[in-house]
Structure 1
Amino acid sequence: MAKVLIVDDAKFMRMTLSNILKKANCEVVGEGENGKEAIELYQALKPDIVTLDITMPVMNGIEAIKTIKQIDPKAKVIMCSAMGQQKMVVEAIEAGAIDFIVKPFDESRVMEAIARALM
C-alpha cells in the first residue's frame, strides 16, 4: 500500500483527493496546507508519493518540490493545479515532478498518475 502525503491549501481538495486515493488502495499518511509544511511532513513521514498543489500561501509548490528533491532526489511528486497554468506545469516538471493532475480531479486520471508513480 502506497503512503501518500497530500499538500493543498484547500481542505476540500485534500478531502476529495484523499477519498480517491483510498479507493486506489493508498494510505494518506499526512496532509499539509503549504509548501513549508510539505517539506517538514516529507522529512517526518517519508511518504512514497507527494501530491503538491502549485499555488499555495507561505511557499508555493514549485519552491517546495525543489527543496524536497534536494533532500531526496528519488522523491516522487505529483503536481496538482487548476487549468491554465501551463507555464507552471513546465516549471514543475523541470523541478522533478513525475506527473501532473488538473483540478477538478478526475478519478481515473489520479489513479493513473499514482500507478505511474509506483512503477
Structure 2
Amino acid sequence: MEFDQFSVLICDDSQMVRRHIRETVELIGAGTVFEAKNGCEAVDICKLHKPQIVIMDIIMPVKDGIQALKEIVRLSPDTRVIMASSAGTDIHLKKTIMLGAFDTIQKPISEIVIRDLVQKAVFESARSTTI
C-alpha cells in the first residue's frame, strides 16, 4: 500500500506543534491529515475516520493522551499510535507502550524522527494487512 493512501491524525494542544508535524507529514506525502487539540477530539476523529496513524501528545486538557490511547486502542486496534511528550516524562512514555502505543517520541520532535516513525508505522501497518 502506498504512503499517500494512509491517513494521519495529529493530536496536540499546541497549534504550533500540530502545524510542525502536519507540514512534515504532508512533505513526505501522507494522504488525509486530521488535527485534534485534545484527547476527546482525537477519540471522536478516530471513531469517525479511523486514521491508520495517530501522533498524540500525552499531556493535554479535557482528556489526556493516555486516556485517549486506551480508547483508540480499544476502538481501532490496527491504528498505529505514536505518543509524544516533553523531556522528563519517560515513565509516561513507557506506560503508553504497555497500553498499546506503536512507538514514542520525545519533544521537541525533529522532522527526521517524524518521517522515520511515520514511515515505520506505514510499513508495519501494510505488512500486517498482507500477512
Tell me the residue number matched to 1:48.
52
Tell me the residue number matched to 1:14.
18
Q: Aligned partners of 1:30 and 1:21: how far apart in 2?
A: 11
Structure with the higher helix share, 1 or 2: 2
- C-alpha RMSD over aligned residues: 1.0
One-letter amino acid matched to 1:104: P
Deviation at 1:27, TM superposition (A): 3.0
Q: Aligned partners of 2:32 and 2:87: how far apart in 1?
A: 25
TM value normalised by structure 2: 0.87
* Structure 1 unmatched ranges of 5 or more: none
One-letter amino acid matched to 1:86: D
Deviation at 1:63, TM superposition (A): 0.6
Query: 3-state DSSP class of the match of 2:63?
Result: coil
Query: 3-state DSSP class of the match of 1:79?
Result: strand
Tell me the residue number matched to 2:127.
none
Task: Give the aligned length.
Answer: 119
Structure with the higher strand share, 1 or 2: 1
TM value normalised by structure 1: 0.95
Larger radius of gyration: 2
Tell whether 2:38 aligns with 1:34: yes
